[in-house]
Amino acid sequence: MQADELTTLGAREVTPVDGGVAFSGSFAQCYAANLESRVASRVLWQVGETGYRGEHDLFEAARALAWPRHFDVRRTIRVNVSAIQSPVKSLDFVTLRVKDAVCDAFRAACGSRPDVDTARPDVRIHVFLTRDRATFYLDTSGDPLFKRGWRARTGDAPLRENLAAGILRLTQWAAPTPLYDPMCGSGTFLVEAAMMALDVAPGAGRSFAFEKLENFEVRQWQALGEKARARRKAATTLPIHGSDKSGTVLGLARANLEAAGLGQAIRIKQMDILDGAAPASSGILVANPPYGERQADKNELAELYPKLGNVLKQRYAGWTAYLFTADMQLAKLIGLKASKRTPLYNGALECRLFEYRLVAGSMRRPKSVDS
């Protein structure tokens, strides 16, 4: 989650931490963070923190927390444990012990225990271990926040919605500047951009785990939902364009646009970027070009990337192009000088967002090599 998203919601003590941003705030702000964040994966509520030496301490610490106050015994649970430099031997064993501790706490409080459901739990409990500290969280999101509810089916390697939204923020695109994804695949950039332009709350079409917690304030949540619906702009034609050379993936993109209520707002067409012209005289081009794992793909891409560079140079003067890739040979082969390279992670995979300012006649790169 980005710190500025939280500050906008009025959260306090907003502090970047490893893998995220910590904040203090009310439950209404927690609901709003889930509803409004375009870039977060989850919002976790810290319910306990302790020093520990081993598995036994973790069991005792988990047993002492007020789980029965937080959720009903009929809710199903799942425990996730992750660790950095922890002395414990097995995270699976800690997972089991924390689950036992939670069940013991319920048995003592109400005579029965919650069931475990690892596939679709009502309540997810996260435990993070460092060398000597353990932090316990209740997950207020449930399904990760990149699941907005608009994706009809997934195509080949779609970008995660929150990563696409984060990249769009880095491009600083805003309507009415034209936006074009010429390799749009299932349409992730297109849908996320449209949701930004129409001020659609990214979580408006889904449910959240906080609705299953005992302290859930349905009125507060309904009020937030109503406010979000009221500010949403009508889906008129947007300056957002998409194309792809594959008719099959365009079918997916169409289904996704329809599911997001954007079928009329965004034009997409089947086109090879090497064959077509820019949809406007200037704008922001954003794409996640194909990348190859097999050698045959790599050979094909080694032909595509220089051609892509030529097309951008010849037909997109006046545009700024942002190419997001895990394939560092793209930077070398495209033959354009990047004005910016932003390292980003797609899960564990290190990627780059390359920015190319396309100006007529001046873009050939000198002999030095970008990476």
Residues numbered 240-279 forming contacts with ligand SAM, rule: CB under 6 A: 244-246, 249, 272-274
Please check whether residue 12 is in contact with residue 33, taking contact to mean a CB–CB distance below 8 angstroms: no
Question: Please, where are the H alpha helices in 37-149?
Answer: 55-63, 67-70, 91-110
Question: Per DSSP, which regions of the chain are E strands?
Answer: 12-17, 20-24, 44-51, 77-83, 123-129, 133-139, 179-181, 240-244, 267-270, 283-287, 319-325, 340-346, 349-357
Using the rule CB under 6 A, is 186 a contact of ligand SAM? Answer: yes
Cβ distance to ligand SAM smaller for residue 138 or 323: 323
Cβ distance to ligand SAM smaller for residue 121 or 182: 182
- String of contacts with ligand SAM for each residue 276-295, x by CB under 6 A: ------------xxx-----
Residue nearest to ligand SAM (CB): 185
> Closest by alpha carbon to 166, among 192, 145, 141?
192
CA pair distance 48, 135, nearest whole angstrom: 6
The strands making up 44-51's β-sheet, listed across from edge to edge, are 44-51, 133-139, 123-129, 77-83
Question: Per DSSP, which regions of 220-359 are E strands?
Answer: 240-244, 267-270, 283-287, 319-325, 340-346, 349-357
Q: How far is the CB of 34 from ligand SAM (least distance, A)?
A: 23
Using the rule CB under 6 A, is 36 a contact of ligand SAM? Answer: no
Cβ distance to ligand SAM smaller for residue 21 or 159: 159
Please check whether residue 59 is in contact with residue 98, taking contact to mean a CB–CB distance below 8 angstroms: yes
Cβ distance to ligand SAM smaller for residue 139 or 192: 192
Q: How far is the CB of 148 from ligand SAM (least distance, A)?
A: 13
- String of contacts with ligand SAM for each residue 97-116, x by CB under 6 A: --------------------
Query: Is 226 in a helix, a strand, or coil?
Result: helix
The alpha-carbon radius of gyration of the chain (Å, integer) is 24
Cβ distance to ligand SAM smaller for residue 140 or 243: 243
Q: How far is the CB of 180 from ligand SAM (least distance, A)?
A: 12
Joined tokens for residue 16: 């970047």
Using the rule CB under 6 A, is 301 a contact of ligand SAM? Answer: no
Cβ distance to ligand SAM smaller for residue 122 or 327: 327
Please check whether residue 164 is in contact with residue 256, taking contact to mean a CB–CB distance below 8 angstroms: no
Please check whether residue 29 is in contact with residue 217, taking contact to mean a CB–CB distance below 8 angstroms: no
Q: How far is the CB of 236 from ligand SAM (least distance, A)?
A: 24
Sorted by sequence, the CB contacts under 8 Å of residue 296 that are 6+ apart come out as none
Q: How far is the CB of 346 from ligand SAM (least distance, A)?
A: 11
Q: How far is the CB of 255 from ligand SAM (least distance, A)?
A: 12
Using the rule CB under 6 A, is 309 a contact of ligand SAM? Answer: no
Using the rule CB under 6 A, is 327 a contact of ligand SAM? Answer: no
Using the rule CB under 6 A, is 335 a contact of ligand SAM? Answer: no
- String of contacts with ligand SAM for each residue 122-161, x by CB under 6 A: ---------------------------------x-xxx--
Contacting residues toward ligand SAM, per CB under 6 A:
155, 157-159, 182-183, 185-186, 188, 244-246, 249, 272-274, 288-290
